[in-house]
């Protein structure tokens, strides 16, 4: 389809109305941001944005409601991590036992290199124990490369207690119920 | 030639160059701040030396205004690596920034920025052919840009250089023709005399508004400012003629651009808005006292800064002209219009009785 363009009027060809219009618009905006305080700038360190609930920030280890380590050192996250940012040292046969019931072991050391991490969330997805979550931290900084490798204590401290999910608790209760056979429905 | 003259000239040159350089630095700040306000932003508001933060109240205001940003910018330009890319034509590559800066500084030499302080006339050189000198020097400015585009040996700077050569040469013609009516009316090429005439008869912008409008638009084109910034159209040419430059050499192009802007603002004030005179408060005749002399300089600077703000304001208002539109406007609109303006002024002056 051919759209016929209307020839410009004399006023339009002189640019003058457009110039006046431009001055008006820019002056209004300048006044508004100067005296009205209506700027769109978010002055970052002082003002922070509301992080959306499903935001994928830095992955941290979490504890359960009882304050115990949820991670059982299965190393699935280490295996699935695309940039190989996670390094887990399992306790080995003679290592420390897990600090919670219904778990055989917990990691001796668990490191995430945040210079490598790409915040993809695969570790959270793969974790069978729901022990690692992408939380809301988005501004990780450090003075050296070494500082950006977070160890187990740091990750657990930053992750905090994760409410809600205690995967093995219902299983434990079910097992206890088994002893009082027949099962009450 | 006496020692007095030499010493006072050197002092004036040093002060004027220093003031212009400082103005350039703060014009960049003004550019960033005004653009921010127009675009509903805040603009630079962080940079400050530590001792300023310690000043209660006032320090915070100064930082919010970004008054220390030019210092940080300047320092950064000095500390950056001055990189010379492989494959550039080295001699021209080094020469181009200097050739761009020197004319922009030289133009200011003939502009009377005040009446007198004591017995010293506040103009570096009171040339009888002031305006011819200005046009001669201004047309040198294009060499720096063309040479930069050529020396970089890279296609985008080259395109920028070509664009600027055509643009600056075309607009120089309409610019030169625009001011002819001014000299027909005044009958003198000396800028101080032009100001003197305006003090007696009123601002020339009222006598020859068309000249002023053509001169204003042509000086936007001459200084490569939007809407005529084709030589450095970032969206089309990466950075324009200075794409390959870095650090202090890049800063020199920046300096040239802004001091051109200041110089053309000064020219417009001198030619069309009475220079250092004001028609009231007795500021329209050369100063007898020191205070009046300083007042004249302030009047000139304020008028000039208003034009600099206009330059900056317009930049954040208009889209860029297309190349053919630019040429069309220059050659087919402004040149005939300027010629007509000369003709009409000449006829009117011929018909009117001789005034002085």
Tokens representing residue B176 in the block? 């030169």
Grouping H, G, I as helix, E, B as strand and the rest as coil, residue A164 is coil
pLDDT for the residue A144: 92
At A87 the three-state DSSP class reads strand
Give the pLDDT band of residue A117 (cuts 50, 70, 90). Answer: very high
Among B23, B245, B32, B270, which Cα is nearest to B131's? B270
**Residue B35: closest C-alpha in chain A:** A30
Cβ within 8 Å, pair A29-B34? no
Query: Which pLDDT belongs to residue A113?
Result: 92
**Residue B3 C-alpha from the chain's centroid:** 31
Six-digit token string for A143: 């003075």
Strand partners, A112: A86, A150
Each residue's pLDDT, cut to its tens digit, for chain B (356 residues) gives 688 888 888 888 888 888 888 889 899 999 999 898 888 888 888 888 878 777 777 777 788 888 888 888 888 888 888 888 888 888 888 888 888 888 888 888 888 887 777 677 777 777 788 788 888 888 888 888 888 888 888 888 888 888 888 888 888 888 888 888 888 888 888 888 888 888 888 788 888 888 888 899 888 888 888 788 877 777 777 777 888 888 888 888 888 889 888 988 988 888 888 878 877 776 667 767 777 788 888 888 898 999 999 999 888 888 888 888 888 888 888 899 899 999 998 888 888 876 54
Collect all residues of chain A within an 8 Å Cβ-Cβ radius of residue B226.
none
Short-list B216, B209, B314, CA closest to A19: B314
pLDDT of residue A115: 92
Do B314 and B225 contact (CB within 8 A), yes or no? yes
ipTM score? 0.74
CB contact under 8 A, A41 and B317: no
- Closest chain A residue to B333 measured between Cα atoms? A14
Residue B57: both structure tokens together: 């109240």
- Judged against a pLDDT cut of 80, whether residue A165 lies above it is answered with no
Beta bridge partners of A69: A63
The percent helix, strand, coil of chain B (3-state, each to 5) is 70, 0, 30
Task: Supply the pLDDT for residue A160.
Answer: 85
CA A28/CA A32 separation, integer angstroms? 6
Lowest mean pLDDT across A6-15, A51-60, B327-336 = A6-15
Residue B180 to chain A, least CA–CA distance (Å): 23
Give chain A's end-to-end CA distance (angstroms, integer). 73
Interface of A with B (CB under 8 A): 19, 22-23, 25-26, 29-30, 32-34, 38-41, 43
pLDDT at A82: 93
User: Do the chains contact at B42 and A39, CB–CB below 8 Å?
Assistant: yes
Residue A37: which region, alpha, beta or left (left: phi > 0; alpha: psi -120 to 50)? left
Contact A38 B317 (CB under 8 A): no
Out of B36, B45, B318, the one facing A22 most closely (by C-beta) is: B318
Q: What is the mean pLDDT of residues A155-160?
A: 87
The reported pTM is 0.79
Residues of chain A with C-beta less than 8 angstroms from the C-beta of B45: 43
The one-character DSSP state at A61 is E
- Percentage of chain A beyond pLDDT 70 is 94
B226 membership: H or E segment, kind and range: none
Q: Residue B355: what pLDDT?
A: 56
Q: How confident is the model at residue A76 (pLDDT cuts 50, 70, 90)?
A: very high
Bigger pLDDT: B117 or A51? A51
Q: Residue A150 pairs with which residues in a beta bridge?
A: A112
> How far is B143 from chain A, CA to nearest CA, in Å?
31
**Contact predicate A77/A132, CB 8 Å:** yes
- Residue B293 in tokens: 């002399």
The CA-atom distances, in angstroms, between A129 and each of A46, A119, A126, B84 are: 37, 19, 9, 57
Candidate from B41, B317, B318 with C-beta closest to A41: B41
Which pLDDT does position A166 carry in this prediction?
A: 67
pLDDT confidence bin for A184, thresholds 50/70/90: low
Q: What is the pLDDT of residues A167-183, one digit of tens each?
A: 677 777 777 777 776 65
C-alpha angle A38-A44-A45 in degrees, rounded to nearest 5: 130
Vertex B196: Cα angle to B194 and B198 (nearest 5): 70
For tokens 């409601």, what's the residue? A65
Can you give the pLDDT at residue A185?
58
- Predicted pLDDT of residue B166: 84
| Count helices and strands in chain A by DSSP H and E runs | 6, 5
Of B37, B316, B317, which is closest to A34 when you measure between CB atoms? B37
């Amino acid at each position: 389809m051919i759209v016929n363009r209307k020839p410009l009027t004399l006023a339009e060809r002189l640019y003058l109305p457009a110039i006046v219009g431009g001055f008006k618009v820019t002056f209004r905006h300048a006044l508004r941001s100067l005296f009205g305080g209506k700027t769109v700038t978010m002055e970052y360190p002082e003002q922070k944005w509301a992080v959306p609930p499903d935001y994928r920030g830095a992955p941290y280890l979490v504890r359960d409601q009882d304050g115990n380590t949820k991670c059982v050192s299965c190393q699935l996250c280490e295996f699935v991590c695309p940039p190989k940012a996670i390094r887990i040292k399992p306790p080995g046969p003679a290592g420390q036992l897990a600090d919670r019931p219904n778990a055989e072991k917990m990691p001796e050391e668990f490191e995430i290199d945040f210079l490598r991490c790409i915040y993809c969330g695969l570790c959270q997805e793969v974790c069978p124990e729901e022990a690692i979550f992408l939380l809301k931290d988005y501004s990780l900084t450090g003075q050296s490369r070494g500082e950006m490798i977070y160890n187990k204590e740091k990750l657990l401290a930053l992750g905090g207690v994760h409410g809600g999910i205690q995967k093995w608790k219902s299983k434990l209760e079910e097992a206890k119920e088994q002893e009082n056979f027949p099962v009450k429905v | 030639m006496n020692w007095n003259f030499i010493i006072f000239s050197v002092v004036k040159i040093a002060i004027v160059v220093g003031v212009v350089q400082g103005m350039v630095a703060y014009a960049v700040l003004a550019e960033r701040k005004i653009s921010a306000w127009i675009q509903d932003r805040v603009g630079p508001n962080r940079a400050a030396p530590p001792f300023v933060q310690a000043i209660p109240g006032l320090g915070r205001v100064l930082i919010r205004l970004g008054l220390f940003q030019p210092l940080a910018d300047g320092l950064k330009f000095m500390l950056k690596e001055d990189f010379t890319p492989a494959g550039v034509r080295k001699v021209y590559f080094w020469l181009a920034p200097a050739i761009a800066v020197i004319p922009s500084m030289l133009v200011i030499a003939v502009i009377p920025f005040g009446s007198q302080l004591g017995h010293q006339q506040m103009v570096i050189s009171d040339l009888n052919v002031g305006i011819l000198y200005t046009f001669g020097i201004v047309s040198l400015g294009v060499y720096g840009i063309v040479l930069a585009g050529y020396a970089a040996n890279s296609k985008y700077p080259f395109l920028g250089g070509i664009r600027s050569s055509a643009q600056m040469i075309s607009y120089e013609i309409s610019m030169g023709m625009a001011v002819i009516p001014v000299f027909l009316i005044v009958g003198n090429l000396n800028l101080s005399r032009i100001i003197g005439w305006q003090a007696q008869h009123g601002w020339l912008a009222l006598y020859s508004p068309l000249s002023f409008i053509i001169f204003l638009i042509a000086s936007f084109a001459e200084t490569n400012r939007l809407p005529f910034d084709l030589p450095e159209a970032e969206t089309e040419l990466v950075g324009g003629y200075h794409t390959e430059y870095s650090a202090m050499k890049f800063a020199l192009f920046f300096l040239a651009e802004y001091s051109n802007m200041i110089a053309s603002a000064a020219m417009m004030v001198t030619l069309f808005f009475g220079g250092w005179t004001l028609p009231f408060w007795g500021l329209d005749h050369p100063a007898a006292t020191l205070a009046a002399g300083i007042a004249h300089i302030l009047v000139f600077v304020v008028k000039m800064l208003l034009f600099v703000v206009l330059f900056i304001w317009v930049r954040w208002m208009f889209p860029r002209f297309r190349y053919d539109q630019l040429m069309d406007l220059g050659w087919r609109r402004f040149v005939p219009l300027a010629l007509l303006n000369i003709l009409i002024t000449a006829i009117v002056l011929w018909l009117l009785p001789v005034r002085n």
